Amino acid sequence: MKVHETEIPGVLIIDTDVFGDHRGYFTETYNKPKYEAAGIHADFVQDNMSFSAQPGTLRGLHWQNPPYAQAKLVSCTKGRVIDVAVDIRKGSPTFGKWVACELSEENHRQFFIPRGFAHGFLTLSPDVEFRYKVDNVYNKESEGGMQYDAPEVNVDWGTLLEGIEPVLSEKDMAAPDLTHSDNKFVYEEMITE
């Protein structure tokens, strides 16, 4: 396994080891001691999967506020997506910055997103299966979200969406920008935890 740092500390891209032959392949998708040795210290308690039928499906940008904040280890097991993490920790030196990476069934890549980040993805193919491990349980009252095209963040979906009208949920269409969102993350509080 190879772990790559991104321009935002703590957000990591993981290239898993894949062993293949004429029958198919095998890859280890999580091994706690190996991931901890690589700097990923999350006690995962829930696994989730989503399915998106259409290319151009855009899910996000979402998070859960404290005390139900979640770190995520995400992967795409069928199809292709562009996955995005946005630093929403008020006071962070990288507040409002974002990192993107392509995840696919071919590259077997994973993306680790710490607590304090908004997360979203755009499907680039039909019939996408997306999986993620989280280190805290789902809590509806702690849900947070912002527009996928929030002007304060300016994720470059444009080139990815060229000629495609994004497929959004009603909730995502109605989401506020980052300034008006219910974001409760504060950088100083998080670095002392």
Active site residue 41: no
In eight-state DSSP terms, residue 125 is S
How distant is the alpha carbon of residue 107 from its chain centre?
Answer: 16
The set of residues, in sequence order, having a beta carbon less than 8 Å from that of 21 and lying 6+ positions away, is none
**Among the options 132, 138, 148, 180, which is catalytic?**
132
Q: How far apart are CA 10 and CA 71, in angstroms?
A: 10
Active site residue 132: yes
Which runs of consecutive H residues, i.e. helices, occur in the chain? Answer: 32-37, 170-173, 187-191
**Among the options 30, 62, 68, 187, which is catalytic?**
62
Sign of CA dihedral 45, 108, 60, 53: negative
Neighbours of 172 (CB within 10 A): 19
The catalytic residue positions are 62, 132
